[in-house]
Structure 1
């Protein structure tokens, strides 16, 4: 271990030139400051403080930077633990480095199932050092986004009389998006109640760093889509919001758009991103747990922003600190055993890890939110009256205080009103 002078060095890995990495650093900083101010972490009668090491992985760009940064953090900067990570392609390589050096890496930013599935279960001794706190894995993100897509499709049915809404898909060219796209294409066409009861009219895959998606949006409009399902984790999400609103494309966007979680979303899109709906973690006034709103208030006071999901590094630091305390040691195997026993109420929900070391998704654990920009504010619209399993658990209804109904963008509703298709 690299620990000396009763300091625990934690490397925070992310694309620090982008808001995703910036919020990874902000979340970790807030947690470390709070833990240190409260007296640090007690281990075997000694008190340790947390020291963070900022690791710019430059993951938005292809190349060897990410791997080099993580190896340097372990060998030269002597970090004891790693947290963060963002882009799947880079994370696959960075986590191999962590496994090589037997360094615990708590993922807080990358969703692809394959970061843990096929690794922790197939070669536990090599990959036992890897855990994921946030987001939930891609297949669970897909489930949430399907639910949100279903909510929007139901709004078209009930408010506009469109029985079989047509759905387009637009997704950045990135590995993590592939599985989500395939599942949406399948589920959109599948009949109710097992599918979404709509019609898939096409899929478009712009670059994750595209500077315009006007051509894709025009093609989506020509395809007759009522709804466009988005799969964006990077800056192209802002480009989409700007072009969609500026061109007044008559489709309702819903899905995954990480940039739309940011407080500066409306400014970044030139005011054109109103009514954007996405999977999210935090929303104005929505209390997922008793810790959510106080955390959001402290984050906003310190950094002047609403936290993105990548600010889940805040909970990640607390979960790691909790495991170290319970382990009573900094030795990797002891901390891993403690992490595997985690049962922690975080700002995101109740965090526990499954046999793959993935955060468990579902009622009573972490669910995520459906969020939408309404009247200049990011509001939560799901879960509001969610029935996760109406057959087996007909009385189970999940909702978080502070959620509001979804709104079809006004010009989209005006365009399709009376269509009754």
Structure 2
């Protein structure tokens, strides 16, 4: 009996000696990536879907080659509640890093929350890919304190100064089309309306200074809350200034309120700017069709090919979620960039990877991702570790709701200058002037 028990103990010990190292090796051959976003909101959900799509593709293709081994990617989902609470976002980032111990982090959306999230990640020297917050001041920290903030890189969107530059280019196209099709010769009047958030402040200031230089008259500025459920007072005041164009800057749910109520009031003005809610597939239904003819800066448009990766990526997100991809789904590109630099460096060490990231040239779902470099050639509004902007790089897409369908309408061949007039993305269609605007001005 004793001999049998002893034999069983020896066999068990031998089995454990085989199994445990095997399990340990499997556990070690993993690259952990934290995805930190507002997971109860579409922006965070698309952080997650972009990352999971890339993870599944990379893992199915064999993973990441590192030091003679194939590593699988493991994602850690972190709901940081950043839209509602910067405090929650900060605590969530601390917990993600200290408890889950990722090798990389990606995500972020609301600027007010990304600032403290950034500081936590930099404290632990974690490479953090910003996939949602535009504000240039986040990237400017890399310039002012490189040793501390060098681990922070932008994936999307380009900063607010380039965002508003794209707005001006869209405005220019619409103004030219209105002048041509409606015979307008007068100075165009523009009403500025923007949510009262940090990222929009610089855009409003820029618009107030720039629009007059473009030959347009600013009729006023209105700043509702990003969560306002009634903007009738603002819209009524805007209508009273008789604008040709309303220039919105909205990232929050006020974009739905604005679109619905502007449609109900039937203000005879073109609406051109940034309405993040209008980028969503459900916007038509959410506004009861009242958001027709609204044009918003976007990252993707159904059927528009920016690169060879754009349409497969767009269709993959739509199939998985039933939604059009939000710009935050560019976590997809961040995942492939990680794979590329890790395989090139044969290392997960952040200090080894930073110089390679700084020189990356990666053709992603929305264009060619390259970073502005430190040095005299990088001048504001460009910023170190921000994505380069312009033709042949990342441009963005202008989309317009046209009778229930969200169409890509900008960049449009023949409009703009400096190379913009030559951009010809397959799938772009003509911008449509709303019947209300046509009826008001065509008769003159």
How does the TM-score come out when normalised to structure 1?
Answer: 0.94
**Cα shift readout 1:277-310 (whole Å, capped 9, x = no counterpart):** 0111111211001111111122222222211111
2:71 aligns with 48
Among 147, 156, 160, the alignment partner of 1:138 is: 160
1:215 aligns with 233
> What is the CA-CA distance between 1:185 and the residue it aligns to?
1.4
> What is the CA-CA distance between 1:237 and the residue it aligns to?
0.9
Report which of the two structures shows the higher radius of gyration computed on alpha carbons.
2
2:395 aligns with 367
Unaligned runs of 5+ in 1: none
Among 72, 82, 85, the alignment partner of 2:95 is: 72
Is 1:326 the counterpart of 2:340? The answer is: no
- After TM superposition, list the pairs within 5 Å mapping 1:9-88 onto structure 2: 9-88=32-111
> What is the CA-CA distance between 1:311 and the residue it aligns to?
0.9
**Cα shift readout 1:290-342 (whole Å, capped 9, x = no counterpart):** 11111112222222221111111111111122111111111101121221121
Contact 1:83 1:105 in 2 (8 A): yes
Among 264, 267, 271, the alignment partner of 1:249 is: 267
Among 403, 408, 426, the alignment partner of 1:401 is: 426
Q: Distance in 1 between matches of 2:313 and 2:335?
A: 14
Q: Distance in 2 between matches of 1:281 and 1:170?
A: 21
- After TM superposition, list the pairs within 5 Å mapping 1:183-202 onto structure 2: 183-190=206-213, 195=214, 197-202=215-220
> What is the CA-CA distance between 1:389 and the residue it aligns to?
4.0
Is 1:351 the counterpart of 2:369? The answer is: yes
Unaligned runs of 5+ in 2: 1-25, 374-383
Contact 2:363 2:369 in 1 (8 A): yes
Q: CA RMSD in A?
A: 1.6
**Cα shift readout 1:22-46 (whole Å, capped 9, x = no counterpart):** 1111111111111111111110111
Q: Distance in 1 between matches of 2:253 and 2:431?
A: 25
Q: Distance in 2 between matches of 1:413 and 1:60?
A: 39
> What is the CA-CA distance between 1:362 and the residue it aligns to?
0.7
Among 174, 194, 209, the alignment partner of 1:152 is: 174
Q: Distance in 1 between matches of 2:82 and 2:178?
A: 38
Q: Distance in 2 between matches of 1:186 and 1:128?
A: 33
Contact 1:133 1:316 in 2 (8 A): yes
2:301 aligns with 283
Contact 2:341 2:356 in 1 (8 A): yes
1:304 aligns with 322
